[in-house]
Structure 1
Amino acid sequence: MKKILFIGHDANRAGAQLVLLQLLKMLKQRNIPTHLLLGAGGPLETDYQKLTGVTKWPEPVRQLYGRRIDKQLYRLRIGQWLHRRIEQERWRAFEEDLRSQNIGLVLVNTVTNSSLYRQIFEWVKPVPTILFAHELELAIRMYTQPENLRFLLDHTDRLIAVSRAVAHHYVDAYGFDASRISTFQLIDIPGLLQKIEQARQLPDLLLQQGIPENAIIVGGCGNAEWRKGNDLFNVIARQVISQHPTVPVYFVWVGMPRNELYEDLTLDLQKAGLSNRVLFIEPTPDVFRYTTRFDIFALCSREDPYPLVVLEAALSETPVVCFDKAGGAPELVETDGGFVVPYLDTVAMADQIGALINDQALRRAMGQTLRQKVIERHSSEKSMRSFLSIVDQLTATTA
């Protein structure tokens, strides 16, 4: 059996990369051969290597022998020749590695990889291609070039969209054939439930951070950036906390690197007098030890196609409050798994978070309903059967 070549842009601990990790794990359990091409490394790289062979995109030549020697070599115009030769050797080894993999199908995990796909296209054609689309308009503009995305879409045989919102976007914005789109999410529900249960058995990390045991935690999670609405998270925290002066409400965001955005948001909190009530946790493999402590999940994203963090919150029985028109989360939350509020209406979001703070029974009921919907709608076995059916259809036509 030929391999499925997966293309991933990096190995950072973020939603699309974690979904890919889960998919590789489920395919390995079924003895389906795979190989992974990574555009860059990251914390998940070792986890990927435990599941499949990994080829990394060749790194640019940054140094030949050392700063002083390189300076002399470039002055003599020998450095330029050596530089080109090393790059050519790296690229040749990279090409030989990929061509040796016996590839029968390519799966491009996110449109971010459109440039990588275009550059290796001549090596993998005419094998069929699946695009696993996780992005909407903002992310597409941030992470792709129009000509690369057009090339990828023109050579995509089937598109898997993580939500109806994503499917509609590729039909409406790019004219992709709706009959070649499947809409489902590939997640390992048994594996996630196991991680959630294991996390609950461990000591409370928020207690160690000085947050009282009886606190109500409003949580957010994800790689911090403008698209994720971290600035809105602070605004909503101020509104909610001011409306509940006698309730120990704390806001916790997991996935905030110590960068310029962190500095800006921390300054905001200092000015608002909220430094002791809003906590930013760096990206961590212990994410479930924080998120299982959440009482309410605030999805402040301006755009999020169908975030894995919402599915994880649901499996933890945590109700979700999100914005309408910001992606696929409203398709799951609806009216019984939390609240969907008008786009960027932080007052409405604060009010609905307040309603959940004031009603423990409502929190419990909505959290339980949300969990049940994920289990029913995103059965790991059902999603895997759908995926393998697509693989079988595409590979049968090229056999």
Structure 2
Amino acid sequence: MPAGEAVLKLLVMSHAADRTGAPRSALLLAQEWVRLGLDVRILLRRDGVLRPEFEAVAPTDIYRSNPAFGLRDAGAMMRESDAVMALKCLRNPDRPYCRSVAERRHADVLADHYRGWGADAIYANTSHCADMIEQIGLNLPVLTHVREMAPSLLALDPRRRQHLVAGDGPVLAVSERGRVDLVEIGVAAARIAVEPPAAAVPDRAGLDAQRADVERELGLRPGDRLIASAGTVGSRKGADLFIDAVLQVLQPAPRPERIMAVWLGDGAWLEACRARVAEAGLAERILFPGAVADVTPVLRRAELLLCCSREDPYPRVLIEAALSGAPSIAFAGTGGAEEFIAEFDAGWLVPAFDTGAMAAQVRAALAARQGPDEALAGRVAGERSVQKSAARLLGHLNDLAGGTHGATTHS
């Protein structure tokens, strides 16, 4: 390390520890920053299945391990600040800013710990970290990576939204569409830069070696054509639109090969989606296996990804699919998918929510090509790898922390 350079001490905040896109992005970025030599600590707003993986990267704390808010806590809040908010917290202790007396003490302990460590800056993985940032009270420069579009931003707790709008530090949008939405809610345009999500570049040869395992787990035959999607099974990601489109793909006269479809993920609509395809007699053709630890082996086996989101600032799964060699079909005008497909020639756009047009494009794409698109994987790896994104973000963080920080071996 050059003389005079200090190691950047970075507190990485994640609003959750589940397998959705934002926590997985935070995990991968933290891994890369540690590899680059930064001194990293991690604060998770709540516990989740990814906690052991975060803990394997860097020391990890949980901000709210068991949200609770009783009459004593409500009394304290009424005396100190907001009687109306106290009543809301009694009804829903998991709301932002609803901290019990014990949770306040826990936050004070965490704040003392991070001050003693000497943190230089905070990276917040979404706008949903605002309550943690305020209540920990470290008075550090913050880089917030906003992964929400206008509907989600407008639905934020007003204090979270005000924290985002009223700050003077930099804010990152994940797409140009996200940047426009931030300006519309009042964030100064000069504060906003665009940094899309990133994903790990997979070992495609290693994924090919898992092909037989994937086929066995999903009940595929070697010659089956596979269409995939992934995400939380619900309205926003368009699980119902996925089924609508796939049903139309399967309706024409039988093809020489069998077409299969799979949605990877969990969510409120999972059982309803399973019931719908079972009612159609297609439970063995349209699969909803639930959440999986790693989507990339299935995406490598797939020939197409369907992105059916109603609104999504930049679906990370498009990057993962492209890095695995699968192009995407997405609805136009719904967010960052349009930008990704245009930038990397990574698939096709169809009119918003027109599942008939999506089905027609699926049939055309399957007729025109077969197997992974290795050229697409190479194009996307050049710009959307975690390594490239982490390096760009480190530039922002160094600017925030007031100088160039070097790297040393992290232990």
**Structure 1 residue 87: deviation in Å?**
5.0
In the other structure, the counterpart of 2:163 is 151
In the other structure, the counterpart of 2:327 is 319
Letter in 2 for 1:177: A
Q: Residues 140-195 of structure 1: CA distance to partner in whole angstroms, max 9, x if unpaired?
A: 355x2133112133225111222111112112x2232323222123535xx4223x
Compare relative contact order (CA 8 Å, sep 6+) and give the higher one, 1 or 2.
2
Residues 111 and 303 of structure 1: CA distance in aligned 2, closer, same or farther (over 3 Å): same
How far, CA to CA, are the matches of 1:250 and 1:271 in structure 2? 17
* Unaligned segments of structure 2, at least 5 residues: 1-6, 71-99, 406-411
In the other structure, the counterpart of 1:81 is none
In the other structure, the counterpart of 1:161 is 173
How far, CA to CA, are the matches of 2:332 and 2:67 in structure 1? 46
SS in 1 for 2:22: helix
User: Do 2:228 and 2:261's aligned partners in 1 also have CA atoms closer than 8 Å?
Assistant: yes
SS in 2 for 1:28: helix
Q: Mapping of 1:345-384 within 5 angstroms?
A: 345-360=354-369, 367-378=373-384, 380-384=386-390
Candidates 145, 156, 167, aligned match of 1:132: 145
In the other structure, the counterpart of 2:92 is none
Root-mean-square deviation (Å): 2.7
**Structure 1 residue 86: deviation in Å?**
4.9
Residues 265 and 116 of structure 1: CA distance in aligned 2, closer, same or farther (over 3 Å): same
Pick which of 223-232 and 267-276 moved more: 267-276
Q: Residues 319-338 of structure 1: CA distance to partner in whole angstroms, max 9, x if unpaired?
A: 10001111111112129321
Residues 234 and 156 of structure 1: CA distance in aligned 2, closer, same or farther (over 3 Å): farther
How far, CA to CA, are the matches of 1:398 and 1:315 in structure 2? 32
1:310 aligns with 2:318: yes
In the other structure, the counterpart of 2:120 is 104
Q: Residues 194-227 of structure 1: CA distance to partner in whole angstroms, max 9, x if unpaired?
A: 3x44332123323343221111111001122210
In the other structure, the counterpart of 1:273 is 281
**Structure 1 residue 369: deviation in Å?**
4.7
User: Do 1:235 and 1:346's aligned partners in 2 also have CA atoms closer than 8 Å?
Assistant: yes
Higher helix share: 1
Residues 9 and 357 of structure 1: CA distance in aligned 2, closer, same or farther (over 3 Å): same
- TM-score normalised by length of structure 2: 0.82
Candidates 18, 30, 46, aligned match of 2:24: 18
Candidates 178, 187, 201, aligned match of 1:192: 201
**Structure 1 residue 40: deviation in Å?**
0.8
1:54 aligns with 2:67: no
SS in 1 for 2:269: helix
1:388 aligns with 2:386: no
- TM-score normalised by length of structure 1: 0.84
How far, CA to CA, are the matches of 2:55 and 2:367 in structure 1? 46
1:183 aligns with 2:194: yes
**Structure 1 residue 245: deviation in Å?**
2.5
User: Do 1:60 and 1:87's aligned partners in 2 also have CA atoms closer than 8 Å?
Assistant: no
Letter in 2 for 1:346: T
Letter in 2 for 1:253: W
Residues 90 and 375 of structure 1: CA distance in aligned 2, closer, same or farther (over 3 Å): closer
Residues 287 and 141 of structure 1: CA distance in aligned 2, closer, same or farther (over 3 Å): same
SS in 2 for 1:274: coil
* Unaligned segments of structure 1, at least 5 residues: 65-83
User: Do 1:118 and 1:148's aligned partners in 2 also have CA atoms closer than 8 Å?
Assistant: no
How far, CA to CA, are the matches of 2:253 and 2:188 in structure 1? 50
In the other structure, the counterpart of 1:27 is 33
1:115 aligns with 2:97: no
SS in 1 for 2:329: strand
Q: Residues 72-106 of structure 1: CA distance to partner in whole angstroms, max 9, x if unpaired?
A: xxxxxxxxxxxx77556544433433433312111
Q: Residues 272-324 of structure 1: CA distance to partner in whole angstroms, max 9, x if unpaired?
A: 22222100122121322222111111001111211221101101111100011
User: Do 1:252 and 1:280's aligned partners in 2 also have CA atoms closer than 8 Å?
Assistant: yes
How far, CA to CA, are the matches of 1:88 and 1:228 in structure 2? 35
How far, CA to CA, are the matches of 2:393 and 2:215 in structure 1? 39
Candidates 208, 213, 238, aligned match of 1:204: 213
Q: Mapping of 1:227-306 within 5 angstroms?
A: 227-246=236-255, 247-257=257-267, 260-306=268-314
Candidates 310, 328, 332, aligned match of 2:336: 328
**Structure 1 residue 2: deviation in Å?**
4.9
Letter in 1 for 2:316: L
How far, CA to CA, are the matches of 1:149 and 1:336 in structure 2? 35
